[in-house]
Amino acid sequence: MLEEVAFLLAFFLLGIASYYDFKSHEVPDFLCYLFLFLGLVFFAVNLFTHCSNLVLLSAFSAVVFSLAMKFFGGWALGDVFIFSGISLMLPEFNGVAFFPFLVFSAGVLSSAPFVLGYCVFEVFKNDKAKQSFLSLIRRRFFKELGFALVLFLVFLFIEGVETGIGAALGYFLVFFAVSFYKASKDFVLREVKKVNELMEGDIPAVSIDEKGRIVKGFSRNLVVSSMNADGLTLDQIKKLKSLGVSELVVRKSIPFIPLLWAGLVLAGLIVFYIRVF
Amino acid sequence: MKSQTSTEYLILVGLSIIVAAVVTLVAFNIIGIRNNVLDLIKTYRIKLLGG
């Protein structure tokens, strides 16, 4: 009963958060704190009623995961609060452990058709992107064909013809996907903006140090870090102007909470399917 | 609070999930770790959850 209440509450609150996120890539602070508060309340009740090692491990690993996503620049702070809240509210659901990861995976995969469609459309609309993709394929085709052949032979001896063909085709599919991703990354998923056109919340794709130079990897004394999905602040934009930086490469972004919402619904349906069948 | 993710990361994570799922399935079925995994789950249930 407790899990069902937590699920419905999460569904309802995620719906409200999605509305704000969709509108402005921002969720009101009180909603983020509410998720965390509710998470702690439900987790405390869980601890005293039917706590198991698996529940603890599920909740703990999901919270650590969300912090890691923030650290590596994948998520903004609002996403961390909300995902951690959901993880504490629903560490497992109807006996399915690691439920937060199911929600996350379902959410990410539910976006695949839209993201893929957008990328395919943009790559083939943009001449430079199309050329980059085709040249990547042309340059590495025979080398990758060789690897695929080796894979085919290895799996042919281990399992049989069908598995061999599957492995070779799978490898080729990955090669195409990676080439496509590289072409999309440079020409579709990133854009160069003049510093005057930068907006608050734009996610930088490069790090800039105090002398206005582009820095690769981890470094201290950064004015702008590429590992921050919260995006640029107005102060940082001013600082970039004062350093004389003329333009900055930024990553295109999308709101994440609607995906989590879709993920919660899909994960709920998967659990329902597992229970019924 | 800001709540957004870059499309680049989303694609990378999506691809990673798919690759991880495929590799797990392949390992589970071909390399034959199925029995070991089932044994692990059984041992875990007996030792930590008490049956």
Q: Is A222 helix (H, G, I), strand (E, B) or coil?
A: strand
Phi/psi at A218 (5° precision):
-75, 140
The pair of three-digit structure tokens given for residue B48, joined into one six-digit string? 């930590």
Q: What is the spatial distance between Cα A38 and Cα A35, in angstroms, rounded to a whole number?
A: 5
Question: Which CATH class name applies to A2-108+255-276?
Answer: mainly alpha
> Domain segments of chain A: what residues?
2-108+255-276, 127-187, 193-251
Contacts of A229 in chain B (CB under 8 A): 2, 4-6, 9
Domains identified in chain B, total number: 1
Determine the Cα–Cα distance for residues A78 and A109; give it in Å rounded to an integer: 21
Domain-embedded: residue B1: no
Question: Which of A92, A181, A227, A253 has the most B C-beta neighbours within 10 Å, making it the best mutation to test the interface with B?
Answer: A253
CA separation for the pair A58, A47 (Å, rounded): 13
Query: Which residues 6+ apart lie within 8 Å of A238 measured at CB?
Result: none
Residue B6 in contact with residue A75, Cβ under 8 Å? Answer: no
Cα–Cα distance list, A216 to A125, A161, A205, A222, A253 (Å): 31, 45, 11, 11, 21
Would B2 be classed as within a structural domain? no
- Position B48 scores a pLDDT of 64
Condensed to tens digits (0 to 9), the pLDDT of residues B7-45 reads: 888 888 888 888 788 777 777 666 666 667 777 777 777
Mutate to test the interface with A, among B2, B13, B48 (most CBs of A within 10 A): B2
Q: Which residue of A has its CA nearest to B7?
A: A253
Angle between the A127-158 and A161-187 helix axes, to the nearest 10 degrees?
Answer: 160
Apex A34 CA angle, A29 and A37, nearest 5: 130
Residues of B in contact with A32 (CB under 8 A): 1, 3
Contacts (Cβ under 8 Å, ≥6 apart) of A202: A193, A231, A232, A248, A250
Task: Please report the pLDDT score of residue B49 as a whole number.
Answer: 62
Q: How far apart, in whole angstroms, are the C-alpha atoms of residue A126 and residue A187?
A: 8
Range of the domain at B20: 7-48
pTM of the predicted model, to two decimals?
Answer: 0.81
**Residue length, chain B?**
51
Taking only residues 198 to 257 of chain A, the set having a beta carbon closer than 8 angstroms to any beta carbon of chain B reads 201, 203, 229-231, 251-257
Phi, psi of A249 (to 5 degrees): -85, 125
Identify the CA nearest to A14 among candidates A256, A254, A255, A257: A257
Q: How far apart are CA A96 and CA A7, in angstroms?
A: 13
What is the model's pLDDT at position A225? 84
**pLDDT for position B21:** 81
A190: DSSP letter: E
DSSP A240-253: HHHHT--EEEEE-E
Question: Do the Cβ atoms of A197 and A240 come closer than 8 Å?
Answer: no
pLDDT at residue A66, as a whole number: 92
Among the listed residues A105, A221, A56, the one whose alpha carbon sits nearest the alpha carbon of residue B10: A105
Question: Going residue by residue through chain A (277 aa), what tens digit of pLDDT does each one get?
Answer: 788 899 999 999 999 999 998 888 889 999 999 999 999 999 988 888 877 788 888 889 999 999 998 888 888 899 999 999 999 998 888 888 889 999 999 998 888 888 888 888 888 888 888 888 888 888 888 888 888 888 888 888 877 777 788 888 888 888 888 888 888 888 888 888 888 888 888 888 888 888 777 887 666 778 888 888 888 888 888 888 888 888 888 988 889 999 999 999 999 998 888 877 6
For residue A23, the distance in angstroms to the closest alpha carbon of chain B comes to 11
Q: Which of A270, A268, A255 is nearest to A75 (CA)?
A: A255
Asked if residue B21 is part of any domain, the answer here is yes
Pick from A248, A251, A260, A264: which is nearest to A214 by CA? A248
Instruction: Give residue for tokens 């981890």.
Output: A218
- The CA distance from B34 to A173, in Å, is 26
A93 burial via Cβ count (<10 Å: 0-12, 13-18, 19+): buried
Categorise residue A72: left if φ over 0, alpha if ψ from -120 to 50, beta otherwise. alpha
